[in-house]
Amino acid sequence: MARLNLLEETRFEKVPVSVYSDPTTASIAVAQRIADLIRSKQEKGEQAILGLATGATPVNVYAELVRLHKEEGLSFKNVITFNLDEYYPMQPDSEQSYVTFMNRNLFNHVDIERGNVHIPDGTLPMEEIHDYCLAYEQKITALGGLDLQVLGIGRTGHIGFNEPGSAPNSGTRLVTLDDLTRRDASRDFGGKENVPTKAITMGIGTIFKAREIILMAWNEKKAEIVKKAIEGEISSDVPATYLQLSENVEFVLDVDAASQLTRFDTPWLVKDCVWDRRTIKKAVVWLSHTLKKPVLKLTEDDYNNNGMAQLATEKGPVYHINIDIFNQLQHTITGWPGGKPNADDSQRPERREPSKKRSVIFSPHPDDDVISMGGTFIRLADQGHEVHVAYQTSGNTAVWDDDALRFVEFATDFVKSQGIDTQKLEALYKDARRFLVDKKPNQVDTPELLTVKGLIRKGEAIAGARFAGLPDENIHFQNLPFYDHGKYSKEQDYEDDIQQTMELLQRIKPHQIFAAGDFADPHGTHKVCFDIIHNAMKRLRETEAWTQDCWVWLYRGAWHEFEIHEIEMAVPLSPQEVLRKRHAIFKHQSQKDVPVFPGDDAREFWVRAEERTRETARLYDGLGMAEYEAIEAFVRWKFEEE
């Protein structure tokens, strides 16, 4: 049995959970615990036996340990480490190996004895693996067991590489990776097909024996699996749920990874709430979805039986609450994303004045505009606004090599057909072919190939924007420098990107900005692109009067829509508009069928876009709103509320 949980608020949580404001603060706290353990062992003249994980999650923990070593004299001389896992097969010096990862992030920067480092060996012949795994396990036991094991969690619920189906008493062994895990790793390997199908991993039983287990998870992408691991039934479908059986485990989360836990997501089920506007809307929308009843049909009993009695008493009668929420939802819907001229705008998402607005759609990659808000884009242009689109990056990593070759061949043949000398082009083509023969997965292309790939995407973006109704002079290619720097160095400075964005905005002086508001992946291009716009606007707001009348609307990228209670503008699309949007997306031929970076979703971009907008329409319908074919959703970013 796990420790007793005496708090009502955490009644659904079956393991101890600590929640921090952000991953950095959480990582520093975990590093401090590791450092305390190492030091207390040093004082006793003992060794600290650590179980370590790789992946994005522990990177800042290791960075903090390195800092503690360099700045505060923390020594690793008495530390023995065992890593959880390694891909199989895998050469230790390969870019993607966990040996490389650990050296880069920790071991190269501290004074650990190399003989004290253990990482499963990905080079063994198959027939030796069994004995090797047994010996790995025995070595840990012989040293007295792990003092502390740090873990991340995969979106399959794996810990180590113990994928769904793993047994609670499993030991170190060779396993087959889940398809989702391989997809998540595909960016590191330059395509899923390059991700090994197997790995050697410590077992759940091995992990379990550690005297202390800390499982860390950051960001919204982990929220769903974290909820299952903490609140769900113990099941081999989610191997991390086995940790509920341990006395020695703690989950360390940031607020985003914790956001789906009951106490944060539906707090009315576990405690008294402060019923502000946002919470009321969220709760009523939740109640309507949970009971599959339109908002106006929810009764006092429905409220009382679902943790919302306090709301009914404080703000009731419920009929009034229902009407209020119904009206709020209704007022988010508009076919006039640039405002409706000559109409009362007191209950509309956008202002009626000026009736012809200048709108800038920022698109992180060349196709986000049409994928994420193609219907709204077309509407704005149709309704006579001065619409501009700004493609923030070239997207030149996401074009297949053979497509690039095909375009160079085309260029050469065309130039030749016009009787112009093609010597240079032919030389370039030969170099490119030679380079591609030996190109390693994820290797950065030559500058010429990057140019060709960028131009392919530029042509597609122009076709898409023209199709949406824009004149050429309103199509802007920013080619923000951070995107190319990122390929060569981790050190980033966004000053040039911000300056360039300020200049563009100052030239257009928009009344509306549309920007991709995906914040789940802090290193992702979308987040960086938003931060650049945000910084540019913040600076302009200090001196430029027009910025006070400029509203910023956020749209979401391909993977995740806003929640219904968050949506402030819902633009419905007719079946014909859905089709027009689809054709705009089709202009991005290099991304069709199988894109280079499909992410963690096997569907084509246009399918994702349609399914997502249809789902939003379905959810609105379920609340008792009018039934639409599809809805594109937006949330307003308010500088005043920062």
Alpha carbons within 13 angstroms on the beta-carbon side of residue 466 total: 10
Binding of residue 178 to ligand F6R (CB under 6 A): no
What is the H or E stretch that residue 257 is in? none
Task: Select the residue interacting with ligand F6R from 31, 148, 159, 552 (CB under 6 A).
Answer: 159
Task: Select the residue interacting with ligand F6R from 152, 190, 349, 454 (CB under 6 A).
Answer: 152
Distance from CA of residue 325 to its chain's centroid?
Answer: 30
586 three-class SS = helix
In the region spanning residues 63 to 92, those forming contacts with ligand F6R, defined by CB under 6 A, are 84-85
Binding of residue 57 to ligand F6R (CB under 6 A): yes
In the region spanning residues 454 to 473, those forming contacts with ligand F6R, defined by CB under 6 A, are none
Alpha carbons within 13 angstroms on the beta-carbon side of residue 165 total: 5
Binding mask 195-234 for ligand F6R (x = CB under 6 A): ----------------------------------------
Our CB check for ligand F6R shows the closer of 153 and 243 to be: 153
Stretch that binds ligand F6R, among 151-159, 256-264, 547-555, 593-601 (CB under 6 A): 151-159
The full DSSP string for 475-501 is EEE---HHHHHHHH-S----HHHHHHH
Binding of residue 53 to ligand F6R (CB under 6 A): yes
Task: Select the residue interacting with ligand F6R from 82, 161, 467, 620 (CB under 6 A).
Answer: 161
Structure tokens at 256: 């985003």
Helix axes 447-467, 575-586, angle to 10 degrees: 160
Binding of residue 370 to ligand F6R (CB under 6 A): no
Minimum gap (Å) between residue 63 Cβ and ligand F6R: 14
Binding of residue 120 to ligand F6R (CB under 6 A): no
Q: Are 59 and 106 spatial neighbours (Cβ–Cβ below 8 Å)?
A: no
Our CB check for ligand F6R shows the closer of 341 and 599 to be: 599
Binding of residue 56 to ligand F6R (CB under 6 A): yes
Minimum gap (Å) between residue 65 Cβ and ligand F6R: 16
Note if 64 is an active site residue.
no
Q: Are 276 and 611 spatial neighbours (Cβ–Cβ below 8 Å)?
A: no
Task: Select the residue interacting with ligand F6R from 62, 119, 122, 158 (CB under 6 A).
Answer: 158
Binding of residue 163 to ligand F6R (CB under 6 A): no
Minimum gap (Å) between residue 560 Cβ and ligand F6R: 16
Start-to-end Cα distance in the chain: 44
Task: Select the residue interacting with ligand F6R from 23, 120, 122, 154 (CB under 6 A).
Answer: 154
Spot the catalytic one: 13, 64, 137, 163.
Answer: 163
Minimum gap (Å) between residue 601 Cβ and ligand F6R: 17
Dihedral class, residue 433 (left if φ above 0, else alpha if ψ from -120 to 50, else beta) = alpha
Dihedral class, residue 113 (left if φ above 0, else alpha if ψ from -120 to 50, else beta) = beta
Q: Are 618 and 570 spatial neighbours (Cβ–Cβ below 8 Å)?
A: no
Q: Are 241 and 229 spatial neighbours (Cβ–Cβ below 8 Å)?
A: yes
Q: Which long-range contacts (CB under 8 A, 24 or more apart) does 604-607 make?
A: 605/367, 605/371, 605/558, 606/371, 606/582
Binding of residue 252 to ligand F6R (CB under 6 A): no
User: Tokens 């597609």 label which residue?
Assistant: 460
Amino acid at 377: F
Binding of residue 54 to ligand F6R (CB under 6 A): yes
Our CB check for ligand F6R shows the closer of 11 and 198 to be: 198
The full DSSP string for 91-102 is -TTSTT-HHHHH
Task: Select the residue interacting with ligand F6R from 120, 122, 157, 160 (CB under 6 A).
Answer: 160
Our CB check for ligand F6R shows the closer of 55 and 375 to be: 55
Q: CA dihedral in degrees (88, 91, 95, 100; nearest 10)?
A: 90
Our CB check for ligand F6R shows the closer of 161 and 362 to be: 161
462 three-class SS = helix
Q: φ and ψ at 149, to 5 degrees? A: -115, 125
Stretch that binds ligand F6R, among 73-81, 158-166, 474-482, 598-606 (CB under 6 A): 158-166
Residue number of the CB atom closest to ligand F6R: 152
Our CB check for ligand F6R shows the closer of 54 and 266 to be: 54
Task: Select the residue interacting with ligand F6R from 51, 55, 366, 454 (CB under 6 A).
Answer: 55
From residue 138, give the alpha-carbon distance in Å to each of 46, 146, 149, 208: 19, 12, 16, 15
Minimum gap (Å) between residue 172 Cβ and ligand F6R: 12
Structure tokens at 377: 């884009």
Q: Are 270 and 12 spatial neighbours (Cβ–Cβ below 8 Å)?
A: yes
Minimum gap (Å) between residue 130 Cβ and ligand F6R: 20
Minimum gap (Å) between residue 438 Cβ and ligand F6R: 29
Q: Which residues bind ligand F6R (CB under 6 A)?
A: 53-57, 84-85, 152-154, 158-161
For the annotated catalytic residues, the residue numbers are 163
